[in-house]
């Protein structure tokens, strides 16, 4: 009959009671996973918008469209001049552009045809190439094509138009700013929601084990003996749920990352990122919500009872 003396601390008891109710664990972890995935998706969206804003503000590209009369020679000449003035450090600081490149009409058409892919046949009916000669300017890292620079380029006689990502970048910046202002409020609400969910899960676990808890009470268990395993159980469930939620958000990002092109050749994949801060934040949030929700749950369901 001899058996080894096992440890029976709160963690060990939490693991034992988790093993005793796999169904309950499934329900708890699933609901927490969904809640944390919503928080994770929201967090990822905020981070990506902020990241996208700063990525697009700097290091982007702009296209200088040449006037109808400007030919290849003028284009090359302009590219050389801009290379000299923009890619070399000036008196006021480092170079503004990383690269300046002339793109003639034919190259532009070839590129367009490539972008159209299977629909390239649409271009077959064209008698003339409608695309103009242009100069592409790739901004140096940390530099953005400001209004001054755009105005200076537009003022050049051989330039018809300067195309930048500015209009929709402004929209993105506005959205990012509004979201940033609401982020804390919404984030706090979502966090409180998770805490409440954990608390209710703990109450459900206590209800399911009420007979066992009555026995513990009758044999003289102190409230702390009963409470801590439930709090630890909530923390463990929340941690597992945070891992699953991270995987879920990561999977979602992979689906959304399917190749797509943004204006000026920007890749959508560059903008949709799943930084390590998301799972780390979810884990931290899960532990905090587990402790708070666990304490709240046991506090509500296991109030010290006097005699009846």
Partner 1 sequence: MILLTKVGKRYHDRPQPTLSEVDLRVPAGQFLFLTGPSGAGKTTLLRMLFAAESPTNGSVRVGGADLGRLKPSQLPLLRRKVGVIFQDFKLVGAKSVFENVALALRVAGGRGPDLVSRVEEVVAQVGLNGAAQARADTLSGGEQQRVAIARALVGRPPLLLADEPTGNLDPGTALEVMRLLVQAHAQGATVLVATHDPKLLGLVRGARVVRLAEGHLHEERP
Q: Which residues sit at the interface with partner 1, rule CB under 8 A?
A: 1-3, 5, 7-8, 20, 211-212, 214-222, 225, 304-308
Q: Copy the structure tokens of residue 29.
A: 């972890």
Asked whether the beta carbons of 98 and 144 are under 8 A apart, the reply is no
Minimum gap (Å) between residue 267 Cβ and partner 1: 56
C-alpha span between 43 and 191 (Å, rounded): 11
Minimum gap (Å) between residue 193 Cβ and partner 1: 32
- For partner 1, the closer of residues 8 and 114 by Cβ is 8
C-alpha span between 176 and 172 (Å, rounded): 6
What DSSP line would sit under 41-110, residue for residue?
A: HHHHHHHHHHHHHHHHHSS-EEEEEEPTT--HHHHHHHHHHHHHHHSS-BTTBS-SEEEEEEE-HHHHHH
- For partner 1, the closer of residues 224 and 258 by Cβ is 224
Angle between helices 210-218 and 166-208 (to 10 degrees): 50
Asked whether the beta carbons of 278 and 246 are under 8 A apart, the reply is yes
Minimum gap (Å) between residue 201 Cβ and partner 1: 20
Minimum gap (Å) between residue 211 Cβ and partner 1: 8
- For partner 1, the closer of residues 10 and 193 by Cβ is 10
Query: Which residues lie below 8 Å from residue 275, measured CB to CB, with a gap of 6+?
Result: 47, 51
- For partner 1, the closer of residues 134 and 206 by Cβ is 206
Minimum gap (Å) between residue 305 Cβ and partner 1: 7
- For partner 1, the closer of residues 17 and 33 by Cβ is 17
Minimum gap (Å) between residue 214 Cβ and partner 1: 7
**Residue-level length of the chain:** 308
Minimum gap (Å) between residue 233 Cβ and partner 1: 16
Find how far residue 233's CA is from the centre of its chain. Answer: 29
- For partner 1, the closer of residues 20 and 81 by Cβ is 20
Find how far residue 150's CA is from the centre of its chain. Answer: 31
- For partner 1, the closer of residues 173 and 217 by Cβ is 217
Structure-token match 């918008």, residue found: 49
């Amino acid at each position: 009959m001899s058996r080894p003396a096992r440890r029976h601390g709160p963690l060990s008891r939490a693991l034992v009671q988790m093993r005793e109710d796999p169904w309950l664990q499934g329900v708890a972890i699933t609901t927490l996973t969904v809640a944390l995935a919503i928080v994770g998706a929201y967090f990822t969206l905020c981070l990506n918008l902020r990241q996208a804003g700063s990525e697009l503000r700097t290091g982007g590209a702009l296209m200088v469209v040449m006037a109808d009369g400007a030919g290849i020679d003028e284009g090359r000449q302009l590219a050389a001049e801009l290379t000299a003035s923009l890619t070399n450090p000036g008196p006021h600081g480092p170079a503004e552009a990383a690269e300046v490149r002339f793109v003639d009409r034919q190259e532009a058409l070839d590129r367009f045809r490539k972008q159209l892919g299977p629909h390239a046949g649409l271009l077959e009916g064209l008698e003339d190439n409608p695309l103009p000669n242009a100069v592409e300017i790739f901004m140096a890292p940390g530099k953005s094509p400001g209004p001054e620079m755009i105005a200076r380029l537009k003022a050049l006689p051989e330039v018809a138009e300067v195309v930048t990502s500015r209009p929709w970048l402004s929209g993105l910046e506005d959205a990012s700013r509004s979201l940033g202002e609401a982020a804390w409020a919404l984030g706090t609400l979502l966090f409180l929601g998770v805490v409440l969910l954990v608390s209710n899960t703990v109450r459900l676990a206590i209800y399911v084990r009420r007979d066992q808890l009555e026995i513990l009470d009758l044999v003289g268990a102190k409230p702390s003996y009963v409470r801590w395993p439930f709090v630890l159980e909530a923390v463990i469930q929340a941690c597992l749920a945070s891992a699953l939620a991270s995987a879920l958000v990561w999977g979602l990002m992979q689906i959304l990352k399917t190749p797509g092109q943004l204006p000026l050749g920007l890749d959508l994949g560059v903008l949709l990122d799943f930084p390590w801060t998301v799972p780390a934040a979810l884990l931290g949030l899960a532990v905090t919500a587990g402790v708070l929700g666990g304490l709240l749950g046991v506090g509500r369901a296991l109030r010290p009872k006097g005699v009846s």
